[in-house]
Structure 1
Amino acid sequence: MQHIYPAVAIILSTLSGLFPFSLYDLFILVASLYLIVLILFLIFRKTSFKKFLYSLIRFVTMLVVWFYFAWGISYFREDFYAKSDLKETTFDAENLKKFVIRFVADANEAYVDFDVMDRAGVRQDLEESYHALHEKLGIDYPNGKRRAKPMLFESLYSKMGVSGYFGPFFNEIHVNNYSLDTTYPFTLAHEMAHQFGIAHESEANLYAFIVCMQSEDERIRYSAYLLTLLYLVNDAAEFLPEEVDSLTSAIRPEIIADLRRNREHWLAVRNRSLSEVQDKAYDAYLKTNKVSSGRENYSEVVGLLISSYDTFIKK
């Protein structure tokens, strides 16, 4: 299984790389129109229910087979601990508190004030980091080509709060151009991790953090701390409710301002109904693929960081 995906990734990413637009988004549009036509044919009695059902089952079956062959098999690969030979550190209140204190201090030190950066340069920087770390991270390299493509339906995805996604059918990376430059590097690194066959969101977050920290660009390193800090704060609020205020009070005001600016940036275009539907649909998708925690899997990066921070992050 571990040898199948790299070969598939090379073929699909090379093919899709010939096009400047998203084949995945185009495919979703065509597939949606096909389903609508099937339903209309049934409603207006242009086809029998038996033929409709046959066509629907055949289409869904082809879709599922294609998904798992093209990328979905990544959900059944070895997890981070098996690939890295690291021992998992117990996730408890004491270890979490110690790590939050340390992480906040490191984030404060990493802070840098910036608004604009060369996004093409960011992609190249992250590519070099993945190359340098691929053996240590247990991933195949080059594993195809990684070209960050614009979303065909960017306005719709922005309303749903989607900053990026990986298109499995054609092995394509997508990052929302609406994203702020302060968050763009980490988001791109996360989607690149998916392209390397890292399916679980927690592990994609971990790989993104490690790779960003490998960069010589202080803005890329800060981007990793900025977004990862949110997961630590959420865990502190859940597992250390009586101490969360004192722990988060140590975060420097400039970082709080950046987090607030990012939140307000996305809320300005958010459609609550669309966002909630997307959240529920993606939660169901993850659980279907044996990610029992669903969308909460994103936050499980904290446990991975507690176990691996000393190994991968040199201070």
Structure 2
Amino acid sequence: MKFKLKAILALSLLPQIVLVKWLSNYPLVIEKYYSQGIYSYISGFFRFTLGRIPFSVGDILYASLLFLGLRYLILKRKCIWNNKLNFLVNIGLVIAVAYFTFNLSWGLNYHRVPIAKALKIEENKSRKDLLVFVNTLINHTNNIQEKIAGDTTKIITTPYSTQEIFDKTLEGYKSIEKIHPFLKYENPSIKKSIFSSTLSYMGYGGYLNPFTNEAQVNALIPPFRLSVISGHEIGHQIGYSAENETNLIGYLVTLHNDDIYFKYAAQAYALSYCLSDIKRNDEELFYKLLPKLNKGVLKNYEELTNFWKKYENVTEPVFKTIFNTFLKANNQKDGIESYSKVVLLLVSYHQKYPL
């Protein structure tokens, strides 16, 4: 490719950014013509073609690109040094093409109409309503834990393989579709990430590959939490990018599963987010609520805490900072904190649809 053409394509990044920023002011347009239009065909195509492949094509794609990139830097280092401008233009070209592909294949969903509109609810910031909901959740979570274990002190061990959890998650989507048709999910493409260990060290439960539309799940995570994460990543596939929204979707899909272990996982998941929210704002109240939980429930929380502690390392904060910046750059002003904003949706949702 000629230098002039590469330079033009590299510089196209700037008008692309401006265009996306301008489009973000028109969520109804994005909703109608992209999220429910172009994106539905693109995602459907990739899920239909790649969903049948048992391994993660996206993981292999990323690994191959990383390998080729490093190989190029090593073998061409002298050439790069002697042609710095050409190298910078090549980098700009790659970024511009990746940015265009990202937004076309998935990224514009960050600017669609919020899920609260589809559910006809509004975020509820009432601390009083949150406390009422938390006490309800504590009762439900305790009851189902004791029902499964027959003992309030026993930890719940989900008796399913990763693939069985994936299959049951799909059943959950069939159930939730009857309540909320816009959450319909077809042509499944959910897979174990080849890099589950890497994701664990980075502190991630999974991710959606925006270029292949494969839902990647960290298969090392305890099954107790894996069910909700699977529902969360599929939530990204059906076009919801905001983390608080896919947290809600993952919860609802798991809650509306006929399987009792899934129901327990969903309620314990929602409860953990609500308790964390209370702890941030009122530690005294948090420590008053904590003794109300069955010891078996607390043991499940401890299991998750111990899992993440095992993978703690000095690089994790770096990856979290990068992801935080990425989210803020894509219309999620709260960054990583947006995950916890699911509490506002949970309280409002269950005022409309009581547990």
Aligned residue among 219, 225, 237 for 1:177: 219
Is 2:135 the counterpart of 1:101?
yes
2:171 is matched with: 128
Post-superposition shift, 1:124? 2.7
Distance 1:9 1:302 in 2: 29
The one-letter code sitting in structure 1 at the alignment partner of 2:48 is T
- Report the count of equivalent residues: 311
Aligned residue among 19, 22, 27 for 2:61: 27
Post-superposition shift, 1:135? 6.3
Is 2:266 the counterpart of 1:224?
yes
SS of the aligned residue for 1:183 comes to helix
Contact 2:175/2:257 (CA < 8 Å) preserved in 1? no
Distance 2:122 2:321 in 1: 33
Distance 2:183 2:273 in 1: 28
TM-score of the two chains, using structure 2 as the length reference: 0.81
1:155 is matched with: 197
Post-superposition shift, 1:61? 0.9
Is 2:179 the counterpart of 1:141?
no
1:287-314 superposed Cα distances (whole Å, 9 cap, x missing partner): 110100000111111100010014345x
Contact 2:138/2:292 (CA < 8 Å) preserved in 1? yes
Contact 2:175/2:253 (CA < 8 Å) preserved in 1? no
Is 2:55 the counterpart of 1:14?
no
User: Could you tell which deviates more after superposition, 131-140 or 279-288?
Assistant: 131-140
TM-score of the two chains, using structure 1 as the length reference: 0.91
Post-superposition shift, 1:160? 2.0
Is 2:154 the counterpart of 1:117?
no
User: Could you tell which deviates more after superposition, 210-219 or 130-139?
Assistant: 130-139
Contact 1:93/1:239 (CA < 8 Å) preserved in 2? no
Post-superposition shift, 1:9? 0.5
User: Could you tell which deviates more after superposition, 207-216 or 110-119?
Assistant: 110-119
The one-letter code sitting in structure 2 at the alignment partner of 1:14 is F
Post-superposition shift, 1:184? 1.4
SS of the aligned residue for 1:243 comes to helix
- 1:295–1:271: structure 2 CA closer, same or farther, 3 Å change rule? same
The one-letter code sitting in structure 2 at the alignment partner of 1:307 is S
Post-superposition shift, 1:189? 0.9
Post-superposition shift, 1:41? 6.0
Contact 1:9/1:171 (CA < 8 Å) preserved in 2? yes
| Residue correspondence of structure 1 range 219-258 to structure 2 within 5 A | 219-258=261-300
Contact 2:232/2:247 (CA < 8 Å) preserved in 1? yes
The one-letter code sitting in structure 2 at the alignment partner of 1:94 is K
- Higher Rg of the two aligned structures: 2
Aligned residue among 248, 252, 267 for 1:206: 248
Aligned residue among 287, 290, 306 for 2:347: 306
The one-letter code sitting in structure 1 at the alignment partner of 2:65 is A
SS of the aligned residue for 1:226 comes to helix
Post-superposition shift, 1:255? 0.4
* Aligned sequence identity (%): 22
Stretches of structure 1 lacking an aligned partner (at least 5 in a row): none
Is 2:318 the counterpart of 1:277?
yes
User: Could you tell which deviates more after superposition, 279-288 or 114-123?
Assistant: 114-123
Post-superposition shift, 1:153? 2.0
2:78 is matched with: 44
Post-superposition shift, 1:70? 0.9
Contact 1:210/1:312 (CA < 8 Å) preserved in 2? no
1:133-164 superposed Cα distances (whole Å, 9 cap, x missing partner): 2364352634x522322222222222222221
- 1:162–1:140: structure 2 CA closer, same or farther, 3 Å change rule? closer
- 1:38–1:60: structure 2 CA closer, same or farther, 3 Å change rule? farther
- 1:81–1:115: structure 2 CA closer, same or farther, 3 Å change rule? closer
The one-letter code sitting in structure 2 at the alignment partner of 1:201 is E
Post-superposition shift, 1:265? 2.2
Contact 2:208/2:237 (CA < 8 Å) preserved in 1? yes
| Residue correspondence of structure 1 range 71-110 to structure 2 within 5 A | 71-89=106-124, 91-110=125-144
2:10 is matched with: none
1:293 is matched with: 334
1:97-149 superposed Cα distances (whole Å, 9 cap, x missing partner): 2222222122112223334214333323322332332364352634x522322
Distance 1:82 1:135 in 2: 18
Post-superposition shift, 1:226? 2.2
RMSD over aligned Cα, in angstroms? 2.0
Structure 1 residue ranges (4+ consecutive) displaced by more than 6 angstroms after TM superposition: none
Distance 2:305 2:100 in 1: 38
Distance 2:175 2:277 in 1: 31
- 1:5–1:60: structure 2 CA closer, same or farther, 3 Å change rule? same
Aligned residue among 56, 72, 78 for 2:91: 56
Would you tell me which structure has more helix in proportion to its own residues?
2
Distance 1:266 1:289 in 2: 27
The one-letter code sitting in structure 2 at the alignment partner of 1:181 is P
